[in-house]
Amino acid sequence: MPRANANGAVVTRFAPSPTGHLHAGGARTALFNWALARSQPGGRFLLRMEDTDRARSQAALAESILADLRWLGLDWDGEPVFQSARTPHYQRAIAELLAADLAYPAFETPGELDAMRGKAREHSPGGGFSYHRPPNWDRAAALAKAEAGAPHVIRLHLAAVLALCGAEREIFAVEDQVLGTVEFAADALDDFVLQRQDGGVTYHLAVVVDDDAQGVTHVLRGQEHLANTPRHQALQRALNLPRPHYAHLPVIQNPDGSKMSKRDREKGIAVDIEDFRRQGVLPEVLLNFLALLGYSPGEKLPDGRDLERFNREHLLRHFSLARVGRGNARFDRSKLAAFNQDSIAALPPAEFKAHWTTWCNRYAEDAWSAQAQKMGEARRALFLQALQPRSKSLADLTALDGPGAFALLKTHEFAYDEKAVSKWLRRGEPSGLERLRELRPLLAELAHFDPESIEAAVAGFCEARGIGLGKAAQPLRVAVTGGASSPPLGITLAILGQTETTARLDRCLAEIGGAQNSARKDSA
């Protein structure tokens, strides 16, 4: 019988193993469980740390998973449950199964098991090895031997569990809320291990006991767990527990079709939530993007395209398992970057500033961010105003190759783009350099060095000479940024400030003007 709460409310859980940081796949699982619970009246979303692997689990990793969930805005109900604190519950379940002869001690050493596997392979090459209790097994002797302290594991007695069922389908058919009915072959299970030799219980035993203890009604997890579900159904039958609904979520693939995995991280590709945070992705953008890894709102935009951009409220209003697909989901990083850029540009300026400041406080380990932070209130406001529509990410503002680099490099640190120099400074009669010589005193003596005053002064200069604005603005841009594209001229110069602008004009006139002078002399 599938589990339903008395009040019909949905209870979901996210059950990460704190053996690594929260990665995109885990976050997607958390998000779907959260969305299902939060989209239902009275729904609850619970957390469980599956830290039974004592050697690999770390408290700091559990903490970082919680921090990343908070950052994504995935709030949970109650306190997280730690499996390491629940040993007595698992032992009780094991004792119950042993007493009913639904589980039993097995004494093979790892070496003996290897030999059994080898024999099975010889018998049917390619076929798997299944462990089943021999028919002539002496229960009393085995229990006594275990009691006396002989090393052993505890295995499920599958044949006995199947004998309890009306039909084997009860165990071997998974009624999946996303995939439909998935049938497993009757040889898909054997007498799998419930308790290891060291007394620790396996994932399968713990997950079934805990899903019941936490009153979980819906288990949403990655498709890699689908083959585990018959095991869990067998244990639910053995322990006489109600069965939650299962929904297995699509596999997440890289654009080249390979399965996205933690190993991608070794190639320098962002996989962990922390990687995306560091890259300067907004949390609501990542949430939107993760939601699309399997879910689609099924709405069309006026131009006929699928609606893909939505916020948390929209997701909660519309989320349902019926809208989760079966096919593999593509992790399209260019789509994430485009979402992020658009969302950054659309933020109210105060929110943009808040997001950026938070990002700097966490990741500003280099002098660049510190410099941007030190700019002073007025210039920083201009810097943010100019950079917001030009930034692909929060990190872009202080990136060495980003649109804000011109403001963070020192007078002599930036390089001149050769093409821009020859087009805007060397060519023409009078040349851009000559215009710069005239503009320098005008800008150096400007009483107010704000964007409007600068624009007005440069416009007046051009008007007086009957030339287009570009003839002055482009040489100035190249002189102070090194290249021909930057935010609007007035704001670009105001961000630098009057002293720095003048210093950069002097550098340009000396370096490029000087080179030109000597080149002319050489050719004369």
**Per CB under 6 A, does 250 bind ligand GLU?**
no
| Among 450, 335, 463, CA closest to 392 | 335
**Per CB under 6 A, does 69 bind ligand GLU?**
no
Segment contacting ligand GLU by CB under 6 A, of 15-23, 134-142, 346-354, 430-438: 15-23
**Per CB under 6 A, does 201 bind ligand GLU?**
no
| Among 21, 9, 90, 17, CA closest to 45 | 9
User: Using only C-alpha atoms, what is the Rg of the chain?
Assistant: 33
State both tokens at 42: 């009275």
**Per CB under 6 A, does 16 bind ligand GLU?**
yes
Closest to ligand GLU by CB, 54 vs 123, is: 54
Closest to ligand GLU by CB, 16 vs 402, is: 16
Q: How far is the CB of 15 from ligand GLU (least distance, A)?
A: 4
Tell which one of 10, 11, 15, 290 touches ligand GLU (CB under 6 A). 15
Q: How far is the CB of 225 from ligand GLU (least distance, A)?
A: 5
Q: How far apart are CA 485 and CA 464, in angstroms?
A: 25
- How many CB atoms are located within 10 Å of the residue 231 CB? 25
CA distances to 206, 348, 451 from 389, rounded to whole Å, are 50, 11, 17
Q: Fill in the per-residue mask, 31 to 50: x = in contact with ligand GLU (CB under 6 A), - = not in contact.
A: -------------------x
**Per CB under 6 A, does 51 bind ligand GLU?**
no
**Per CB under 6 A, does 210 bind ligand GLU?**
no
Q: How far apart are CA 365 and CA 342, in angstroms?
A: 26
Closest to ligand GLU by CB, 16 vs 404, is: 16
One of 119, 259, 262, 410 is an active-site residue; which one? Answer: 262
Contact 285, 340 (CB under 8 A): yes
User: Residues in contact with ligand GLU, total (CB under 6 A)?
Assistant: 7
Closest to ligand GLU by CB, 16 vs 432, is: 16
Region for 480 from its dihedrals, namely left if φ exceeds 0, alpha if ψ lies in -120 to 50, beta otherwise: alpha
> Which one-letter amino acid corresponds to residue 13?
R
Q: How far apart are CA 48 and CA 393, in angstroms?
A: 32
Q: How far is the CB of 268 from ligand GLU (least distance, A)?
A: 24
Q: How far apart are CA 53 and CA 82, in angstroms?
A: 12
For the segment 216-235, give every residue that binds ligand GLU (CB under 6 A): 221, 225
Q: Fill in the per-residue mask, 256 to 295: x = in contact with ligand GLU (CB under 6 A), - = not in contact.
A: ----------------------------------------
Q: What is the end-to-end Cα distance of the chain in Å, rounded? A: 97
Q: How far is the CB of 29 from ligand GLU (least distance, A)?
A: 7
CA distances to 264, 334, 344, 397, 404 from 390, rounded to whole Å, are 29, 16, 9, 9, 9
87 burial class (0-12, 13-18, 19+ CB within 10 angstroms)? middle
Q: How far is the CB of 8 from ligand GLU (least distance, A)?
A: 23
Closest to ligand GLU by CB, 16 vs 294, is: 16
Question: Is 471 among the residues known to form the active site?
Answer: no
DSSP conformation letters of 260-321: P-GGGGGGT---BHHHHHHHT--HHHHHHHHHTTTB----B-TTSPBP----HHHHHHH--G
Tell which one of 178, 207, 270, 476 touches ligand GLU (CB under 6 A). 207
**Per CB under 6 A, does 245 bind ligand GLU?**
no
Tell which one of 12, 17, 391, 481 touches ligand GLU (CB under 6 A). 17
Q: How far is the CB of 71 from ligand GLU (least distance, A)?
A: 19
Binding site for ligand GLU (CB under 6 A): 15-17, 50, 207, 221, 225
Q: Which of the residues are catalytic? A: 262
